[in-house]
Structure 1
């Protein structure tokens, strides 16, 4: 994989970016995704809210006979959905997440996606927590409500530096499965350029509502025909000279990417979990909207 060097960002720049992301993603959550998110993820059940006068057409099975007898007038019980849920964002912060060649790198795309999902969640009174992972668990932010909590999450996504470079989805899911007993909505955001996580995903999908968000760059998929170049694996550091114009090299590069994608698709399908695929130069609004609408 080609390596993109990312310079450290100072505090003032981080705060500026947090504000920019807040303005963009909070607006999307308020005006586009809040209702669709609510419809896509149901609460734990129905709870009693109040009684009101019976009206023609109401279900007679919902009549509160005690209140009706006491007041000598028909009253009906009103129930509302118990909405409070826990949303966990499992975010890949490995070295490959810093790769990007067009509009933005994968980490930037994942940060915006997390912000949209988080603002949509708190709009519906849900808690949001985060796990940053590389080839192990890097950071855990417990689920909480509130705008200040979401802004803290965004700030951490923009500034966090992992201690390791690799990616291990299996161990991350195992940690999550052991740490989280209460059923949650789980969004796992990664380029999924690794394998061997089917069993851990199966367990997570049985306990939780799991959605994979596959974020990739066009150059993860296709090697540009630019002649002899030195490539470096961003996670292992291994370097190799390759002829990027060679058709066999291009084919091998594309096939390697497609194998990872196919494993990812098969794994999520077998586990019963959902999967969204978004390229860094594509409009993620369209992809998320399609996902929410189809659930």
Structure 2
């Protein structure tokens, strides 16, 4: 692992509290008057994806200077006098993270494990959320166990999340490989229970375990919430590697020996990965979700600012 490029004191494999606390000081880059994290990273321009929402507050009689788009036409018709809807800024919006800590995420071929990159992003989002006076909650899915953290706006929220991530990550590193593969359904059901309507839901995974049934749950979640999907991958998954030997590989469904010295084999990997990622993009576009991608070959902050 290339430790000199990683955020101190990370080694790319193990998680520590100091490592995750490092991202607390990075939130200033995306707090007002700086740009929104998502708009700066993804270049989004849709107003509904940016900033805070507004909650309906009350209706009062129209006054000169009021935005005519806010006129309440029902009340106006009933009373015969123009009335305006007033809105207050949405406070303590719940942000729910779905964090995939299943075994396929505990992989990294060059720089860091996919799970470590995910933990870095989770920490940054958690600290940014409470700094904006919103509430942070999470569902950590190890594939065999769920850890649910209810949304809180206090600093104890990111700290509790960090501690759980560290403990569960260390457990998973020591856990022997399990041939069985479970879907994401129970984890998404937990998100559905935890997230009130109007929440922001951020899913971080390699989505290896995503099934058609899971897509139904995601569609349901997207009907009443803002949902973001962050696809986390490793360069080996799309055929980028300096290794030129023969190695045994598995997708948890089948296992085979793969010759990485073969350019054709590497191209087939790249094609299969591209097809999978395009399927995810198509699904998110169809359901109105936001899609973004991170790769474990680069530090998080470099990807967000690039």
Same fold? TM cut 0.5: yes
Counterpart CA distance in 2 for 1:158 and 1:128 is 17
CA contact (8 A) 1:134 1:168 kept: no
Residue 271 of structure 2 is matched in structure 1 by 255
User: Can you give the 5+ residue segments of structure 2 that lack an aligned partner in the other structure?
Assistant: 1-13, 39-48, 59-63, 71-85
The partner residue of 1:45 within 33, 55, 60 is 55
CA contact (8 A) 1:224 1:245 kept: no
Deviations 1:5-42 (A, max 9, x none): xxxxxxxx86xx2123213x112212334552598242
Residue 272 of structure 1 is matched in structure 2 by 288
CA RMSD of aligned residues (A): 3.4
Is 1:26 the counterpart of 2:48 in the alignment? no
Counterpart CA distance in 1 for 2:116 and 2:92 is 28
Is 1:104 the counterpart of 2:121 in the alignment? no
Counterpart CA distance in 1 for 2:281 and 2:67 is 47
Following superposition, the deviation at residue 216 of structure 1 comes to: 1.1
Residue 94 of structure 1 is matched in structure 2 by 102
Go from structure 1 to structure 2 and tell me whether the alpha carbon gap of 1:230 and 1:97 turns closer, same or farther (over 3 Å shift): same
The number of aligned residues is: 254
Per the normalisation by structure 2, the TM-score is 0.70
The partner residue of 1:190 within 205, 222, 240 is 205
Following superposition, the deviation at residue 173 of structure 1 comes to: 2.4
Following superposition, the deviation at residue 185 of structure 1 comes to: 0.4
Following superposition, the deviation at residue 106 of structure 1 comes to: 0.9
Determine helix, strand or coil for the equivalent of 1:130: strand
Following superposition, the deviation at residue 211 of structure 1 comes to: 0.4
After superposition, residues 167-186 of structure 1 pair within 5 angstroms as: 168-186=183-201
Determine helix, strand or coil for the equivalent of 2:27: helix
Is 1:132 the counterpart of 2:147 in the alignment? no
Go from structure 1 to structure 2 and tell me whether the alpha carbon gap of 1:281 and 1:129 turns closer, same or farther (over 3 Å shift): same
Following superposition, the deviation at residue 172 of structure 1 comes to: 2.9
Following superposition, the deviation at residue 289 of structure 1 comes to: 6.2
Counterpart CA distance in 1 for 2:87 and 2:218 is 35
Determine helix, strand or coil for the equivalent of 1:132: strand
Deviations 1:180-231 (A, max 9, x none): 3432100100112344343222111111100011111111111536444232
Q: Which has the larger radius of gyration?
A: 1
CA contact (8 A) 2:92 2:133 kept: yes
Per the normalisation by structure 1, the TM-score is 0.72
CA contact (8 A) 1:94 1:167 kept: no
